[in-house]
Amino acid sequence: MSSSAPLLEVTDLVKHFPIKAGVLFDREVGRVAAVDGVSFTVAKGETLGIVGESGSGKSTLCRTVLRLIEPTSGSVRFEGRQLVGLGQRQMRPLRRDMQMIFQDPFSSLNPRKRVEQIVGAPLKLHGIASGAGLKREVQELLDRVGLSPEHYSRYPHEFSGGQRQRIGIARALATRPKLILADEPVSALDVSIQAQIINLLSDLQRELGLAYVFVAHDIGVVRHVSDRIAVMHDGKIVEQGPADRVCSSPADDYTKKLLSAVPVPDPRHRR
Amino acid sequence: MRRYIARRVLWGVALLFICSAVIFVIFYAFPSADPATLRAGRAATPEQIERIRHSLGLDEPIYTQFWLYMKNLVLHFDLGFSYQSNVPVTTLILDRLPATAFLVVGAAILWLAVGIPVGIVSAVRPRSLLDRTTMVTTLALISAPVFWLGLVALYLFADDVGQLLPIFPGIGSYIEANTFLAKAESLILPWIVLAAASAAIYARYMRSSLIDTMSEDYIRTARAKGLSERRVVMRHGVRSAVTPIVTLLGLDIGTLLAGNAILTETVFNIPGVGRLVATSIERADLPVIQGVVLFGAFFIITFNLIVDIAYAYLDPRVRYE
Amino acid sequence: MSLLEVSDLHVHFDTDDGVVQAVDQVSFGIASGETLGIVGESGCGKSVANMTILGLTRGPRTTIAGRVMFEGADLLQMGGEELRQVRGNEIAMIFQDPLSSLHPFFSIGDQITESIRTHRDVSRANARARAIELLGMVGVPEPRRRVDDYPHEFSGGMRQRAMIAMALANDPKLLIADEPTTALDVTTQAQILSLLQDLQDRLGMAVILITHDLGVVAENADRVLVMYAGRIVEDGAIDQIFYDPGHPYTWGLLGSLPSLDLHPHDRLPQIAGLPPSLLAPPQGCHFRERCPHAFDRCLQVPPLEARLPDSPAHRDRCWLSAEQKRELRVADGRIGLRERKSPAS
């Protein structure tokens, strides 16, 4: 979109998982290509939506881009810098700029830690704040995501699903990232809470100039939040383009199939 | 499935080999006392000790000793000779194995027959009076030391010294018994004593496993299909809940055959493997100790193998690992 | 003529934290061959109400009141043995997650034949043949081979088909489907729903379709119940619910959907706050605390009534007048709930 270089540039990313078999020792007998040569870019402040069904590889893609799983081959450039092949120490400062929100608000927060510890951990880890300054930062973050200061010292199980997702978002924002990968951030939430979280993510994008990679299986949600959409199937991107265009005039057969399967909340569309 | 079994068996054999090697290291390479001196006895002269050392092959380099050890073990099942009695170790152990096996199998049948139904009933009516009584009783039985239970049982029920109801044969009756039936009768009190704590453990295990299972979605489906509650609990619930018990059972039987019934055997004077372990440790009879440890490893590995295979029959999802 | 008629159903659970009023004053009916959609979010009572129809919520700490009339008998009054003859026979139920809802140790065939032989006196061989027939009917390929497979050997969509086959084994008059496609991909979902429609047409079965997805309801249901916090808040024909909704919660649900024809990036009209705790629901209308149009009358429980003279079957639980509703329900040019000024809790 803009004339400057893309924020994130992924080229021919591949992730294979070996299939092991054997009587005494495991040998690799085959491979599953979870991510099979994926390329896309994300510009600063933009939202790229990645839509796909289960088994399409979209979650593996997120984790591989962030090197939470090691890619088999391919390139991931963040602000021009190649991430694949960097050592742990070199990756660490870059992790401040790229964060992730997870799908299941019930299992992605450590039940033994308080909210202050969960949200404060990245601040401490990267040396951004400590002591009294840390507490203030955390409270500001909680406020920004719509939680109140007294939530500071509570445990995850005391919150609802939507609130836990807000905690996850606060944690992701702690290091003031430039890019957030959201892996099905609203799929586990009720419809009315989904709307709240989607609105929150939009507001935050406007205020902070964040870029998002928004991964979901619900094409309606993806279209609503994205500038561009990539459709994933069997580890590959089968179609990519501006959100409006992909949804109104899909070129690929799989995309068409996906779009036609979505139940429309309008009785006029009955078959 | 076949591949699963083959894998497990091969690993079992490999593990046995590794155990033998470790046992060799413990007993041959780092013995706590000089085997030759022990073998020679108290009033031995230095020359006698040297001769014995030579005859035992202890002056050979360690890899030769290991090779000899493994050769004897694998080809001849020869574990050496007892220092005390000069009887082959294998003979000693095999003589005592039937008694232990009889004790363990009988106790196992008893603790399963009592523990599992009690566990099921407690699970089906949680927090009822029956359940609470069961929980307290089982806690008491688990906490009571086996030898205490044994002595109390003898004190109350032994036909020679029993104060309450002298109906069961007492100490030493196993050795005196000649027929199968007489031997079985002499084991009644030991069975009860050995089974008591285990029945309690299995009842608790079954109870908690079944309570967990009954909250699963497939139980809800079974009820929605219109199955009788009995069928829901027994066929759908217990069938699932019993799988961790199978694992436990395998481990228990394996370790008991390896000598874990030592206390019961001692209290009731049953000439089993456990007693052999006790006496040979007392007398520092190294070959016997080492032989028993090896047998023990064999039983535990074998029973774990049996349990793994049984598990695969019970739970079809496991067959593809 | 109603096949099933639920009247004034109440279900309370006595828990360690207090009494949970899971279902309150629920009344509805369903006719033969009809599809009734029940929508609501988690905790609204839709699952509990339907499980109660089959007596699956009975327990020492559960209080159930009301009537459920089915073929002239009150299911709530039936003893266990009588009720078991209805379950899986005349009324069948399928659940959300077919992987956890099928027993992992028994083959699909075994589980289907079990269902058949519980209610019919047939030989094992005949039951097995019927199981194969049923699997074929629901679209499982190679049913003769797959009948001996275990649940974990099926894919998600196939498993749900197998569950449907099991539920249909005894030709039920009513099928209760509790979120049957929520755990499935959207393309698989479309196939399963189409299968259900097809089977329903062929067998003349009534279906209660429980879901949180308004799209699913729009495409499959004849009538819809909207539930919130244990109560039915709106009840009407499909067109009435979507084009003339009469309850603010329904407006909120319709509004919060990012559908494909909505202009993207607009702020979604959202319902602020969270559903109330069923331990201590608010006095009067349960939606009162989140409703931007609440007024003093809302402190009394609004009865479920038809508000429009020419639509007696369209009922809602809201004190607002029909004119007020038509005016207030449009936010930014479409049906939705206006924002409340309080922060999200």
Category of C107 on φ-ψ map: left (φ > 0), alpha (ψ -120 to 50) or beta: beta
Q: Is the minimum CB–CB distance between B226 and chain C shorter than 8 Å?
A: yes
Residue B222's pLDDT is: 96
Claim to verify: residue C324 and residue C186 sit in the same structural domain: no
pLDDT for residue C341: 57
**Is pLDDT above 50 for C78?**
yes
Which pLDDT score is estimated for C306?
87
Pick the residue from chain B with its C-alpha nearest to C102: B218
Q: Which band of pLDDT confidence, cut at 50, 70 and 90, is reported for residue A212? A: very high
* Domains contained in chain C, number: 2
B197 in Cβ contact with B146 (< 8 Å): yes
3-state secondary structure of B88: strand
Task: Tell me if chain A has a CB within 8 Å of the CB of C263.
Answer: no
C214 contacts on A by Cβ (under 8 Å): 191, 265
pLDDT surpassing 70 at residue B320: no
Report the CATH number at residue C132. Answer: 3.40.50.300
How far apart CA B89 and CA B286 sit, in angstroms, is 10
Domain shared by B70 and B32, yes or no: yes
Q: Which two tokens stand for residue C36?
A: 């009734």
**CA distance to partner chain A, nearest, from residue B14 (Å):** 10
Q: Do both B96 and B152 map to the same domain?
A: yes
Residues A180 and A212: beta-carbon distance below 8 Å? yes
Check C189 against A261: CB less than 8 A apart: yes
pLDDT in tens, A3-56: 568 899 999 999 998 887 766 566 777 788 889 999 999 999 999 999 988 888
Same structural domain for residues B80 and B97? Answer: no
Structural domain contains residue C343: no
Query: Are B118 and B250 in a shared domain?
Result: yes
- Please report the pLDDT score of residue A1 as a whole number: 46
C103 to B314: CB separation less than 8 angstroms, yes or no: no
- Identity of the residue in C80, C152, C166 whose CB atom sits nearest the CB atom of B317: C152
Cα-trace Rg, chain C: 21
C305-339 as b/e: b if 16+ CB within 10 A = eebeeeeeebbbbbbbeeeebeeebebeebbbbbe
Give CA torsion, residues A111, A114, A119, A122, to 10 deg. Answer: -80
Split into its structural domains, chain B has a count of 2
Beta-bridge mates of residue A50: A215, A230
The mean pLDDT of C176-201, rounded to a whole number, is 90
According to DSSP H, which parts of chain B are helical? 2-24, 35-40, 46-55, 62-76, 89-124, 129-143, 146-157, 173-176, 180-186, 188-214, 217-224, 229-231, 239-241, 243-255, 262-268, 273-282, 286-314
For B221, name the nearest residue in chain C, comparing CA atoms only: C101
Q: A23 and B7: CB-CB below 8 Å? A: yes
Spatial contact of C190 and C133, defined as CB atoms under 8 Å apart: no
Which of B125, B129, B216, B218 to mutate: most C Cβ within 10 Å? B218
Q: Does C341 touch chain A (CB under 8 A)?
A: no
Domain range holding B270? 92-320
Q: How confident is the model at residue C49 (pLDDT cuts 50, 70, 90)?
A: very high
In angstroms, the CA A50 to CA A216 distance is 6
- pLDDT for position C185: 84
Provide the chain A residues 21-40 that lie in CB contact (below 8 A) with chain B.
Answer: 23-24
User: Same domain for C111 and C193?
Assistant: yes
B314 in C contact zone (CB under 8 Å): yes
- Please tell me the distance in Å from C246's CA to the nearest CA on chain A: 16
Q: Is residue B2 part of a domain?
A: no
List the one residue out of C183, C228, C223 whose CA is nearest residue C206. Answer: C223
Judged by a CB distance cut-off of 8 A, whether residue B218 touches chain A is: no
Least confident of A156-170, C258-272, C281-295: C258-272
pLDDT (0 to 100) of residue C261: 61
* Residues B224, C89: C-beta atoms closer than 8 Å: no
In this structure, are B57 and B189 located in the same domain? no
| C270 close to A (CB below 8 A) | yes
Q: How many CB pairs under 8 A join A and B?
A: 8
CB contact under 8 A, A24 and B3: no
pLDDT of residue B158: 84
CB of B7 less than 8 A from some CB of A: yes
- In terms of domains, do C54 and C189 share one? yes
Determine the structural domain holding residue C86 and report its residue range. 2-221
C239 close to A (CB below 8 A): yes
Same domain, C262 and C124: no
* pLDDT greater than 80 at residue A270: no
- Kindly list the residues from chain C whose CB atom is less than 8 angstroms away from the CB atom of residue B223: 56, 87
Residue C343 tokens read as 């922060």
Residues B137 and B241 in one domain: yes
Does C324 have pLDDT greater than 70? yes
Pair A255, A56: CB distance under 8 Å: no
Confirm whether B196 is domain-assigned: yes
C244 pLDDT higher than 70: yes
Asked if the C-beta of B6 comes within 8 angstroms of chain A's C-beta atoms, the answer is yes
Q: Which of B221, B228, B239 sits opposite C101 (nearest CB)?
A: B221
**Nearest CB neighbour to C85, from listed B220, B226, B315:** B226
**Percent of chain A beyond pLDDT 70?**
96
CB contact under 8 A, C343 and A148: yes
C315 and C172 in a single domain? The answer is no
Contact C262 A160 (CB under 8 A): no
Tens of pLDDT, residue by residue over A146-199, are: 888 778 888 988 888 888 899 999 999 999 999 999 998 988 888 888 888 998
C-beta of residue B297 within 8 angstroms of C-beta of residue B13: no
In a domain, B5, yes or no: no
User: In the beta sheet, which residues pair with residue C87?
Assistant: C91
Torsion of CA B215, B216, B218, B220, to 10 degrees: 30
Q: Which residues of B touch C101 (CB under 8 A)?
A: 217-218, 220-221
Strand ranges, E, within C166-262: 174-178, 206-211, 223-228, 231-237
In chain C, the residue whose alpha carbon lies closest to the alpha carbon of A159 is: C345
Beta carbons of C108 and C130 less than 8 angstroms apart: no
- Distance of residue A161 Cα from the nearest chain B Cα, in angstroms: 22
B183 touches chain C (CB under 8 A): no
What is the per-residue pLDDT for B159?
A: 81
Task: Dump the DSSP string for B263-280.
Answer: HHHHHHT--SHHHHHHHH
pLDDT of C345: 38
Contact B223 C118 (CB under 8 A): no
Is residue B186 scored above 70 in pLDDT?
yes
Please tell me the pTM assigned to this model.
0.85
Residue B63 shares a structural domain with residue B198: no
The verdict on B223 and B300 lying in the same domain is yes
Asked if B11 and A24 come within 8 Å (Cβ–Cβ), the reply is yes
B262-295 confidence digits (pLDDT tens):
888 888 888 888 888 888 888 777 788 888 888 8
Residues of chain C contacting B315 with CB distance shorter than 8 Å: 104-105
Q: Does C335 touch chain A (CB under 8 A)?
A: no
Kindly determine whether residue B217 and residue C119, on different chains, have CB atoms separated by under 8 Å. no
Domain stop point among B69, B89, B109:
B89
Q: Are A74 and A13 in contact (CB under 8 A)?
A: yes
- Asked which of B35, B66, B89 is the last residue of a domain, the reply is B89
Contacts with A20 from chain B: Cβ below 8 Å = none
Would C226 be classed as within a structural domain?
no
C146 CB contacts (<8 Å, ≥6 apart)?
C108, C135, C140, C154, C158
Is B167 at the interface with chain A, CB within 8 A? no
Cβ B276 vs Cβ B92: under 8 Å: yes
**How much is the mean pLDDT over chain C?**
90
Percent of chain B residues topping a pLDDT of 70: 96
> Are C218 and A259 inside 8 Å of each other by CB?
no
Q: Is residue C57 part of a domain?
A: yes
Task: Render pLDDT for C95-110 as a digit per residue (tens, 0 to 9).
Answer: 988 899 999 999 999 9
Q: Is C5 on the interface with A (CB under 8 A)?
A: no
The radius of gyration of chain B's CA atoms, rounded to the nearest angstrom, is 24
**Which DSSP state fits C294?**
-
Determine the Cα–Cα distance for residues C329 and C339; give it in Å rounded to an integer.
12
Would you kindly state where each structural domain of chain A is located, as residue ranges? 110-166
* pLDDT tens digits for range B205-260: 999 999 999 999 999 999 999 999 999 999 999 999 999 999 899 989 998 988 88
Residues B122, B34 share a domain: no
- The ipTM estimated for the assembled molecules is 0.89
Same domain membership, residue B79 and residue B168 = no
> Does residue B127 sit at the C interface (CB-CB below 8 Å)?
no
Contact C264 A243 (CB under 8 A): yes
B7 contacts in chain A (CB < 8 Å): 23-24
The answer to whether the CB atoms of C259 and A191 lie below 8 A apart is no
Subunit contact B220:C95, Cβ cutoff 8 A: yes
User: Are C202 and C63 members of one domain?
Assistant: yes
Question: Could you tell me if B181 and B206 lie in one domain?
Answer: yes
Q: C112 and C9, same structural domain?
A: yes
* Cα–Cα distance measured from residue B123 to residue B38, given in angstroms and rounded to the nearest whole number: 55
The answer to whether A220 touches C216, Cβ cutoff 8 Å, is: no
- Report residue C343's pLDDT band, with 50, 70 and 90 as the boundaries: very low
Query: Could you tell me the pLDDT band of residue A215, with boundaries at 50, 70 and 90?
Result: very high
Q: Are residues C59 and C181 in the same domain?
A: yes
Please state, in angstroms and rounded to a whole number, the distance separating the CA atoms of residues A196 and A203. Answer: 11
Q: DSSP assignment, residue C154?
A: S
Interface test with A, best of B2, B4, B7, B320 (most A CBs within 10 A): B7
In a domain, B3, yes or no: no
* HEC-encoded secondary structure of chain A: CCCCCCCEEEEEEEEEEEEEECCCCCEEEEEEEEEEEEEEEECCCCEEEEEECCCCCHHHHHHHHCCCCCCCEEEEEECCEECCCCCHHHHHHHHCCEEEECCCCCCCCCCCCCHHHHHHHHHHHCCCCCHHHHHHHHHHHHHHCCCCHHHHHCCHHHCCHHHHHHHHHHHHHCCCCCEEEEECCCCCCCHHHHHHHHHHHHHHHHHHCCEEEEEECCHHHHHHHCCEEEEEECCEEEEEEEHHHHHHCCCCHHHHHHHHHCCCCCHHHCC
Q: Residue A134 pLDDT > 50, yes or no?
A: yes
How high does pLDDT run on average in chain B? 86
pLDDT at A228: 94
Q: Does A158 touch chain C (CB under 8 A)?
A: no
CATH number assigned to the domain comprising residue B190 = 1.10.3720.10
Question: Would you call B225 and C54 a contact, using CB atoms and an 8 Å cutoff?
Answer: no
Helix (H) or strand (E) holding C330: strand C330-331
Residues B52, B144 share a domain: no
Q: How far is C313 from chain A (nearest CA, A)?
A: 18
The predicted structure's pLDDT at residue C264:
65
- The answer to whether C233 touches C303, Cβ cutoff 8 Å, is no
- B89, B117, B151 - which closes a domain: B89
Name the CA dihedral angle for C84, C87, C89, C95, rounded to a multiple of 10 degrees.
-150
CB contacts of B226 in chain C (<8 Å) are: 84-89, 115, 118-119
Counted across chains A and C, CB pairs separated by less than 8 A come out at: 124
| Whole-number Å distance between alpha carbons of C217 and B259 | 66
Considering only CB atoms, B218 lies closest to which of C51, C103, C150, namely C103
Q: Is the pLDDT of residue C69 over 60?
A: yes
Q: How confident is the model at residue B178 (pLDDT cuts 50, 70, 90)?
A: confident
| pLDDT at residue C43 tops 80 | yes
C15: tokens are 């828990």
Residue-wise pLDDT tens digits, B143-171:
888 889 888 888 888 888 878 887 888 88
